[in-house]
Structure 1
Amino acid sequence: MRLRKCVACGTYTLRERCPSCGERTGSPHPPRFSPEDRYGKYRRLMKMEAKKLNGLNG
């Protein structure tokens, strides 16, 4: 069993579903750091594209 956090209300629990609102829960922990970041290039590209879209829409 691992600690989980509700994506909707932010409640911490050990269950797959939130006892407060019934939404799904996910891991509250960040991904592990790796100096050999194989997907860093793609993540940075997605961030740049998101900034461009936000600049056009907002």
Structure 2
Amino acid sequence: MSNRIRRCPDGRYTLSPVCPACGRPSRPAHPARFSPEDRYCNYRRAARRWNTSE
């Protein structure tokens, strides 16, 4: 189990992968680390553009 804080879609914070209040999956509360040697940055940016173009 990771001890990193996670955030529920309702805005609550928890340590579990599932929110104990609403039962929905929680997401990490912090962004991923930045790496200048990121080999997948072009794919991630393309996916972000694809998802926001709707």
How large is the Cα RMSD of the aligned pairs? 1.7
Secondary structure in 1 matching 2:7: strand
CA distance in 2, matches of 1:14, 1:44: 29
Which of the pair is proportionally richer in helix? 1
State the 4+ residue runs in structure 1 displaced beyond 6 angstroms: none
Match of 1:25 in 2: 26
Please, which runs of 5 or more residues in structure 2 have no aligned partner? Answer: none
1:1-58 Cα deviation digits (max 9, x unpaired): 221111x2121012222122111112111011001121111123231x443xx3xxxx
State the match for 2:42 in structure 1. 41
- Letter of the structure 2 residue corresponding to residue 36 of structure 1: E
The number of aligned residues is 50
Distance between the aligned counterparts of 2:42 and 2:34, measured in 1?
15
Unaligned runs of 5+ residues in structure 1 are none
Q: In the alignment, which residue of structure 1 is the partner of 2:4? A: 2
Identity between Structure 1 and Structure 2 (%): 48
Q: State the structure with more CA Rg.
A: 1
